Structure 1
Amino acid sequence: MQQLRQDDPPRIGDFVTLARLDADGSRGVPERRYLARSADGGRTVVACLPAPGSDPAQWAAEAQQAARLTQPGFWPVAQLGGTPAFPWYASPYRPALPLPAVLAAHGGPLPEPLVRTLGGALAEALASAHVLGIVHGGVCPAGVLLTACGPLLGCFGATRAHPLAAASPTATSGLETGCLAPERAAGGPADRPSDVYALGAVLAYAATGHTVPERDEVPAGLREVISACRSRDPQGRPEPVAVLGELLPGAAYGALAGATEPISLPGRVVEALSRQSAGVLAAALPTQER
């Protein structure tokens, strides 16, 4: 949890803001994410606003698209609200850390088995969306939220492949260096291969702390799959299901994304998730007493 700043809103719709989810200087998320609680104390949510300088109308349109994505493995958009000048959305709260905060809590890159588990779950989530013709278009480390049961992919920016998947300034301008496929950087639309390219960047980040690492930085067991995902040739990138098979051979499709059983996490990451949960409960007590 990050403390609120003076320029942070005290309320978002019917919710009282408690803390910021992202640290100062976080890159890759085209929105401001807050932990918030309803005024009656009955609901805790992650409430989101457009990033400073972004187009509220474009942001609201993308939030509406995200609300339609209900596939397992994605962080849901449960409530839309606000005005054209001040739109917002909210999702039910569960203890979660953006991937950069996970590495910070752990003290560096994650162990290879955990990278494989995270990558497999994300690949499965993308596969389930791609089957429906849905392209994400905004996959990046800060958009991955790790819970005790595995990762969830923030669905903000997700678009249907036709005709709504044209490159969006809101979705692409905030992407962390290394997550934007070359063809998208050249002005092309978001499509399934560009999602796989970004997935490769997330895997690289989890394994090394960088989205564009030197080859020798990447653990030997992950080099081939990460290199394939990050091929400059879109046709040379594997499908998400193939990425799942490379990361977790023999894993049953459908068993990872949106799982409800806890996964094995490093102790410091578990501690950070527990600390966040305790902080939210403590911060909510004054609200409940009003």
Structure 2
Amino acid sequence: MTGVRMEGLRSDDPPRIGGYVTLGRLGPPEDARCDRRYLARGADGRHTAVVSLPPPGADPARWAAEAQWAQRLAQPGFWQVAEIGGTPAFPWHASPYRPVLPLPAALAAYGGPLPEPVVRTLGATLAEALASAHVLGLAHGGLSPAAVLLTAYGPLLGCFGAARAAAPEGVARSGLPGLDPGCLAPEQAVGGPVAPAGDVYALGAVLAYAATGHTVPEREEIPGGLRDLVSACLSRDPGNRPDPARVPGALAPQAAYGALTAATEPVSWPGPVVAALAAQSAGLLAADLSTGER
């Protein structure tokens, strides 16, 4: 299958994870920047889930600890962790399935960077979610294109705590498994604490990626209407980065604050992205039927 649909399993993929039968990967193996994600069917055949494993080379204990925090996080705009299981050497967590595309897959479906109005809605929604967590004293610590999951009703944030899972404070994180170097704030790359300002840096990198196709573009590549905000988010000085609570107003001034993460109507994603979400559902059904015939 293509990169925008469910990927077939490889020989080194687990056929089962806990009580789930794996049907396919959510994205190709090279996209596993924060988690390895699988579409899976419960052993009872009644429900489907997205089951996640640590990225290759990651510390499973630290990853599992962040999964426990994510399970307690009920803020709007975050991907729900509903179940945790496994062993210390092989932890996993599961979320109820809905058609979902990691942001890199969405760009692949669209055929390139997303239109500026779509990037604005995406960024405003992500900023709302981050701000709601920051109010509670929680930094996401893992925002990257792979952590942004597009659903019919808007984007959700996964991969909570990827930077904390990669290494403790005081240990350099550059080059460690599970981290996107373009989204790692300079202070976190050298081992500084995972803090809200680092989330803002990563938000700028994600906006740059959605608008240009890569996380470290030249300033001139960024659309003019986004250029100043993205540049401010990507400031090397954490004190010069904007407050995420003010970002939604800069990106989507017509939207009431809090309304984006609580959306009850489908988002107007570009047609190819909507088609890719539908294709994923169809691929899952076909894989499920094939599994049931064996």
TM-score category (smaller protein): over 0.9
Among 7, 16, 25, the alignment partner of 1:11 is: 16
1:80 is aligned to 2:84:
yes
1:166 is aligned to 2:169:
yes
Q: How does 1:108-119 map to 2 (within 5 A)?
A: 108-119=112-123
Render the CA deviation track for 1:226-277: whole Å, top value 9, x for unaligned: 0111111111111111111110114211101142311111111111100001
Instruction: Check 1:8–1:27 CA distance in 2 against 1; reply closer, same or farther (3 A cut).
Output: closer
Partner of 1:24: 29
Q: How does 1:47-86 map to 2 (within 5 A)?
A: 47-86=51-90
1:131 is aligned to 2:135:
yes
RMSD after superposition: 2.1
Deviation at 1:156, TM superposition (A): 2.7
SS of 1:25 mapped into structure 2: helix
* Corresponding letter in the other structure for 1:24: P
Deviation at 1:285, TM superposition (A): 2.3
Among 230, 254, 259, the alignment partner of 2:258 is: 254
Deviation at 1:286, TM superposition (A): 4.3
* Corresponding letter in the other structure for 1:89: H
Q: How does 1:187-266 map to 2 (within 5 A)?
A: 187-266=191-270
**C-alpha contact (below 8 Å) 1:27/1:176 kept by paired residues:** no
**C-alpha contact (below 8 Å) 1:15/1:39 kept by paired residues:** yes
Matches of 2:32 and 2:24 in 1, distance apart? 18
* Corresponding letter in the other structure for 1:244: P
Matches of 2:197 and 2:268 in 1, distance apart? 30
Render the CA deviation track for 1:87-141: whole Å, top value 9, x for unaligned: 1110000000000000000000000000000000000000000000010111000
Deviation at 1:3, TM superposition (A): 0.8
Greater mean deviation of Cα atoms: 89-98 or 245-254: 245-254
SS of 2:38 mapped into structure 1: strand
Instruction: Check 1:225–1:172 CA distance in 2 against 1; reply closer, same or farther (3 A cut).
Output: farther
Render the CA deviation track for 1:56-89: whole Å, top value 9, x for unaligned: 2111111111111111100011000111121111
Instruction: Check 1:167–1:32 CA distance in 2 against 1; reply closer, same or farther (3 A cut).
Output: farther
1:36 is aligned to 2:48:
no
* Corresponding letter in the other structure for 1:282: A
Deviation at 1:174, TM superposition (A): 2.5
SS of 1:204 mapped into structure 2: helix
Matches of 1:9 and 1:123 in 2, distance apart? 35
**C-alpha contact (below 8 Å) 1:74/1:258 kept by paired residues:** no
Partner of 2:183: 179
TM-score between the two structures when normalised by the length of structure 1: 0.93
Matches of 1:121 and 1:277 in 2, distance apart? 24
* Corresponding letter in the other structure for 1:129: A
Matches of 1:86 and 1:255 in 2, distance apart? 38
SS of 1:265 mapped into structure 2: coil
Deviation at 1:173, TM superposition (A): 4.0
Partner of 1:152: 156
Deviation at 1:187, TM superposition (A): 1.5
Gaps of 5+ in 2: 1-5
Deviation at 1:144, TM superposition (A): 0.3
How many percent of aligned residue pairs carry the same amino acid?
Answer: 68
Gaps of 5+ in 1: none
Matches of 1:231 and 1:39 in 2, distance apart? 48
Matches of 1:253 and 1:223 in 2, distance apart? 22
Matches of 2:273 and 2:265 in 1, distance apart? 16
Among 137, 140, 164, the alignment partner of 2:144 is: 140
Partner of 2:3: none
Render the CA deviation track for 1:200-236: whole Å, top value 9, x for unaligned: 0000000000101011110000001101111111111
Greater mean deviation of Cα atoms: 273-282 or 148-157: 148-157
